[in-house]
Structure 1
């Protein structure tokens, strides 16, 4: 493939990953200075010149000009900017030396050499930073592609429910972690899963991929929701034996499964995961907790996995929120956990996408900074299809709410 072809393919991937609602998939370097900061090297140069001109002390401040190219490398990502400011600093140094009659003095020679040396170092530093940022951009692009393959978009409507998902990674440049989610429309009704893999990094991604792959198959094949959990346990056990992850002592997955039939009857299976929240149309919130505690998948042998099924009738307009512990374990500066059950009714205005946006913004305000853990939220709103209407399939296009 030619170089032009490679650039075109990369651009196509970036355009596809940007999507209709996310904007360009470009990398914004952290710590970028505003454009007005480009004037700082010239302001510093002017201050040195003025200080030398108006000073009554018989000591030249010419060596202070060595800071100009270093400052240029800090405030600008342009590799030529340190060279430009260094060249101007050399001119200013000769001007000050001529004004102070020290052109032949060692202090002037040392200043000229120091400015040239700092300029060269600043240029090399700027070059290395640009290369590192480009490498980071390429890595983010690959991670974004992997995330789109593993965590597929969720349509606005899936069968008898409206759906939205919001995923926020803990790291500033991370695009994928150990949280997982999926919604599928099957002949048994709409089925969804939200889970959290213990650990982070590549091992968590591999484990999440195994669980999601098994769910996408089992959700269509198994009529009983508890059998779907058993299928996931078998697939997880096989994946953990096939892929060894050095340094990880114990691997397991907490998850909650939910199935919503067209008539509104819902089934919930929970394996060591935080209980979903049911928000009724009248604004009341109820945690769908089970009387019997079931350990996460990966703790018991697959044949011992037989979680109980909780059945809940849904009314039109009822909403159920599935989430990972990154949401409820978000702490403020006083160490208080985020009160999700209390804040959900306040944020539950508008459609599912708007609700999740408000919830995420509320969590960030509670913490006061970036979240310290991955946080995923999936909201399902029961809205039965009109009689005789064709149900939308999961592969149809829809919006996706993300961080």
Structure 2
């Protein structure tokens, strides 16, 4: 989210302000690391063979031995073991010595300097490989900690909760991250299933901290407040207490309420939206229908909490209907031509197949649209009504 609205401006903003408008599975980090390719450790050996072959083919007065120093350097770049550059350095030094013996007196003049260069490159390469291995161990520990934090902050919902069948897919934009500024949760209460999806402006630890406040407030208020508008107001008060007076953070969110059992052929679906992309109602044989709020409401953190009174959208929902909640990391994803991802158009194709896999298919399709990378966190939460 790129909007910037300071908290001192809240008193001057009215209700007319609006903003534009995944089992959680993690996508692998973008890019491919050369040292992790199966064939990468063989590159230094190939380079050594090529250099030796060229040295043998050229006349004795042409010396290319200094280029052998690149072999242990390449071993440090692509090797998986700390001592891999040393192994290549020893073999390279032996190859240089054998080559020098063919040159007679040139050994003293040129090849001793080559041996020094190979030795220096080997030592530096070994130190570099050791430092990289240490960083990888630390990164692995950080990933484990992040996974534990995710289980606490973004708890994977069950596949079936009351009258709703649930699937979710989430991907953080930060490299190697497991959690970010997008948030979601589902709770089964005496009034039915309550689902929350939101997006914190910004990224990093600050966004994660704000998301934890919103989720904590939702997990408490969802069981106490019958009206979803009152539930959102409770979240607004909790968020206001956690934000500093001069912060520019705010949160867009949508709260959806599914009744436990329908009255007749349909049930009353309730939606409250505060500046978030409108959820989509997916019904067999029909185009996706946006569940837009009755009137636009700014995100939480823009207005003072006592001024937060979002209207409730009531919409009939029938057994078998599906509601897709998502964040703007999906709709604002761009391809190489800077074209936005067309969610509604793509859903016509993505809905085919197992409905529970729709968020995963959507995530893969968004990554294909962007070429494999995401500029923002992306979350998709699906609820299929099966009372």
- Cα deviation code 1:116-169 (max 9, x no counterpart): 111000000100110111111111111111111000011111110101110011
Match runs of 1:227-306 below 5 Å: 227-241=230-244, 249-262=247-260, 263=262, 264-306=267-309
Distance of aligned partners of 1:282 and 1:188 in 2 relative to their CA distance in 1, 3 Å threshold = same
Give CA deviations for 1:27-80 in whole Å, capped at 9, x if unaligned.
Answer: x98443423232222222222222222213612222221111111111212111
CA contact (8 A) 2:24 2:169 kept: no
1:220-250 per-residue CA deviation (whole Å, 9 max, x = no partner) reads: 0111111001100111011114xx8xxx841
- For 1:93 and 1:123, how far apart are their aligned partners in 2? 20
Q: Distance in 1 between matches of 2:282 and 2:203?
A: 31
Give the one of 379, 383, 386 matched to 1:383: 386
Structure 1 residues 3-402: aligned runs within 5 Å: 30-56=33-59, 58-102=61-105, 104-241=107-244, 249-262=247-260, 263=262, 264-384=267-387
> Does the residue aligned with 1:308 lie in a helix, a strand or coil?
coil
CA contact (8 A) 2:96 2:111 kept: yes
Query: 3-state DSSP class of the match of 2:187?
Result: strand
Structure 1 380/136 Cα, relative in aligned 2: closer, same or farther at 3 Å?
same
The question of whether the paired residues in 2 share the 8 Å contact of 1:156 and 1:163 is answered with yes
Instruction: Report the CA distance shift for 1:104/1:337 in structure 2 as closer, same or farther (over 3 A).
Output: closer
Residues 245-277 of structure 1: CA deviation (Å, up to 9, x unaligned):
xxx841111000000002132100001111111
- Is the alpha carbon distance of 1:104 and 1:370 closer, same or farther for their aligned partners in structure 2, counting shifts above 3 Å? closer
Q: Which stretches of structure 1, 4 residues or more, deviate above 6 A after TM superposition?
A: 20-23
Q: Quick check: 1:338–1:363 contact (8 Å CA) kept in 2? A: yes
Secondary structure at the residue paired with 1:293?
A: coil
Q: Over aligned residues, Cα RMSD in angstroms? A: 2.1
Bigger drift between 276-285 and 172-181 goes to 276-285
Gaps of 5+ in 1: 1-19, 385-403
Q: Which 5+ residue runs of structure 2 have no aligned equivalent? A: 1-22
Give the number of equivalent residue pairs: 358
Q: 1:43–1:102: structure 2 CA closer, same or farther, 3 Å change rule?
A: farther
CA distance in 1, matches of 2:364, 2:38: 28
Q: Counterparts of 1:258 and 1:380 in 2: how far apart (Å)?
A: 10
CA contact (8 A) 2:24 2:170 kept: no
The separation in 2 between residues aligned to 1:353 and 1:368, in whole angstroms, is 25
Query: What TM-score does the superposition give when structure 1 sets the normalisation length?
Result: 0.85
